[in-house]
Structure 1
Amino acid sequence: MEILALALGLLALTLAVPVPMWLHEARFRARSPWVWMVLWQAIALAGGLSMVGAPIIYGLSPFGVSFPEAVRTAVGLTTAEDYSALATLNVHPWHLFSLCLGLVLGAHLVLTLARTFYRVRRARSRHRQMVRLLSTPLRTGERAEADDAPAFEAQVIEHDAPLAYCLPGRTNAGSVTVLSRGLLDQLTKDELAAVVAHEQTHLRQRHHLLTMAFEAWYRALPWLPTTRYGREAVLELTEMLADDGALTEHSNERLLRSIATTSTGEGGARTELEPGASGLITGVRLQRLLTQPETLGRAPTAGILAVSLLLLTAPTALILFG
């Protein structure tokens, strides 16, 4: 059990510092953003589980040779209030401290996720009400698509700055795309269509759930490199994925022109997944649109996905069967 705790601790340390720092500098992440998105999710889940599991496993090590046995023994002693047996099992104060540390850390992560989810839902609800009060529906003649085939609900706010963002709903049908009058005045219909396609990809692929999870991870442990780099990476990768969705229907040049226009609004407003968040137009993303790099080959893709699967299953297997 102590060796298992050490292994989980080393895994948590590796995923917390060197791995995210290396991935943060890896420019080839632009070649297949969905693959790197899977890897970052695996890193977050494996890192969190290892970080919580290591102190819990060490704290339970005197109670049994395996995690299930140790849990049964500890629960049995607690239920029977047989605290005199702790001395027989060589349970020391640092074991109890480690166990409490792991439980508190796990509770902190879960509660931070719940709190972030609640705050985002409440803020989004308030923002939706403001949009209803201060905007008007996009008229048929202003739509980016053919006038006889409107494919999305959009609201127009009377503002000179070029703005475009999404308000995700519980379903795609309940989501709203918000556009500004300044954007409608500056973009052609084709360019507006590229912006809308970008936003619709965000909604269709539910990117707001990914960004919310990594935002909660960052808020829970802001001092860890993995939470900071993970949040930045997911924001960038979701933008790349949304670009890919738009590029299935529109050219690189059209999408680049629309990005250039929406990036010059007040406060650097751009096409956004979450209203009010700062846009993320990185050099890697722009270079990707300009050069259109080849996607990763089958072997590298299979290797990264295999590593992701190993990260997702190894900590759980170690805890349950180690």
Structure 2
Amino acid sequence: MTVPAVLLLLGALTAVGAPRLLARADWPDREPVVALWAWQCVVAAVLLCCALSMTLSAAAAWQAVRGHVFAPAPRAVVDAYALGSTGPWAGAIAVALACAGLWSGAMLLREVARAGARSRARRAELLLRAPLLPGEEPAAGRLVVLEGERPDAWWLSGATPQLVVTTAALRRLKGRQLDALLAHEQGHAQARHHWLLHSSSALATGFPQVPVFAAFRDEMHRLVELAADDMASRRFGRQTTALALVGLNEDRGVFGPSPTPQAHVPQRVHRLLTPPDRLPPARRLRLTAAAALVPVIPVLVTLVPGLRALG
């Protein structure tokens, strides 16, 4: 079996097996930051398998590509990959994978453009509802209070990020509860969670038939909230953060008999009130290192024939 085929098989096995292993594990909810890293490594490994397989398939199909890919390599290394025996399917696979890569990039650009349009619309609405005072300049980190009957708070990213909170939230949340809510939103901004959400949504939208990308999107939406909850609770306490979540969401139906399917707020409140034990630092380090090795495997598979030829 040629290296491009092995890489595609490895990518398929990673896409099928890794999400199942993460779903069965008992530590992602205990260590959401490590789980976020693990999911990113899994998706990176799948994409890397496709990219390396595309490169080697293109090198097998077209001499011009082969000359660029293996330009500095000795003849023995080129012969080790047996590029001339891959058959007529190499060019078709290379073109298909290249088209998939271009489609992924287009989906990401579309997602970023849509997010930018939503952000500009919200900023325009914000300026309309809370205009700047004469002589006042937009400032990063500026807290904006809006009149509103619904308790809410959100972070507007961009060149001048702003934290927005409604008057209903100010009335309902008192003291440290409001501080915990603001710390939660600031946690999203500091960790750049919006980029994870954009990337996962782009892959899931562009390839709806690939389960790993849909699972990646769903887990990103869930895990970033858990990570932000932990950041807030470390500063203001778990009970205070849980009460802030309840106060902010109790009028939205998420605690009713039929909550919305994507509402993770009850689970988040339960997790804050009955916190699971964190993993020991040594195990967190081992999990982080093991996740980092997942994208390295496709690279090693790609290099094995060349290293054998040199050895």
**Shared fold (TM-score greater than 0.5)?**
yes
Distance in 2 of aligned mates of 1:168 and 1:280? 23
Partner of 2:215: 229
Please point out which of 167, 181, 184 is paired with 1:195: 181
Query: Among the aligned pairs, what percent are the same residue?
Result: 24
Alignment partner of 2:167 out of 169, 176, 181: 181
Mean alpha-carbon deviation: is it higher for 295-304 or for 43-52? 295-304
Which aligned pairs between 1:223-302 and structure 2 lie closer than 5 A?
223-266=209-252, 280-281=264-265, 283=267, 285-302=268-285
> In the aligned structure 2, how far is the partner of 1:189 from the partner of 1:11?
52
- 1:142 alignment counterpart: none
Q: Against the structure 1 CA distance between its residues 279 and 202, is the aligned structure 2 distance closer, same or farther, given a 3 Å change threshold?
A: farther
Indicate how the Cα distance of structure 1 residues 279 and 117 shifts in structure 2: closer, same or farther if over 3 A, else same.
farther
Q: What is the CA-CA distance between 1:222 and the residue it aligns to?
A: 1.8
Asked if structure 2 preserves the Cα contact closer than 8 Å seen for 1:59 and 1:94, the reply is: no
> 1:248 offset after TM fit, Å?
2.3
Aligned-partner Cα distance in 2 for 1:267–1:212: 26
Alpha-carbon contact 1:136-1:156 (below 8 Å) kept: no
Distance 1:268 1:176, change over 3 A: farther
SS class of match (2:46): helix
C-alpha displacement at 1:93, in angstroms?
3.7
75 and 293 in structure 1: CA distance in 2 versus 1, 3 angstrom threshold: closer
Tell me which stretches of 4 or more aligned residues in structure 1 moved more than 4 Å. 73-76, 89-92, 266-269
> Could you report, residue by residue, the CA deviation over 1:36-70 in whole angstroms, capped at 9, with x for unpaired residues?
11111111111112134335534544668xxxx96
Aligned CA-pair RMSD: 3.0
What does residue 94 of structure 2 align with?
Answer: 99
- Give the drift of 1:24: 2.9
DSSP-derived class of the 1:165 partner: strand
Q: Does 1:309 align with 2:292?
A: yes
Secondary structure in 2 matching 1:160? coil
The normalised TM-score by structure 2 is 0.79
User: CA 1:316–1:114 in 2, change beyond 3 Å: closer, same or farther?
Assistant: farther
Contact 2:32 2:223 survives alignment (8 Å): yes
Answer yes or no: is the 8 Å Cα contact 1:63–1:73 preserved in 2: no
| Structure 1 residues 196-243: Cα deviation after superposition (integer angstroms, max 9, x where no partner) | 111111111211112111111212212212111111111221111111
Task: Select which of 108, 131, 135 maps to 2:130.
Answer: 135
TM-score in terms of structure 1 length: 0.77
The corresponding residue for 1:15 is 14
Task: Name the SS for the 1:29 alignment partner.
Answer: coil
Counterpart-to-counterpart distance in 1, 2:69 and 2:22? 40
Q: Distance in 2 between matches of 1:74 and 1:295?
A: 46
Which runs of 5 or more structure 2 residues have no equivalent in the other structure? 72-83, 133-139, 256-261, 306-311
Structure 1 90/15 Cα, relative in aligned 2: closer, same or farther at 3 Å? Answer: closer
Q: Is the 8 A contact 1:9 1:51 kept in 2?
A: yes
Q: Is 1:72 paired with 2:56?
A: no
Deviation string 1:61-87 (CA, Å, 9 cap, x unpaired) is 4668xxxx96217999xxxxxxxxxxx
The 1-side partners of 2:285 and 2:92 are apart by: 41
Could you tell me which residue of structure 1 aligns to residue 36 of structure 2?
A: 37
Note the C-alpha offset of 1:26: 3.2
Q: Is the 8 A contact 1:58 1:99 kept in 2?
A: yes
**For 1:82-97, what aligned pairs fall within 5 Å after superposition?**
89=84, 92-97=87-92
In 1, Cα distance between the equivalents of 2:98 and 2:157? 33
Letter in 2 for 1:3: T
2:50 maps to 51
SS of match in other structure, 2:145: strand
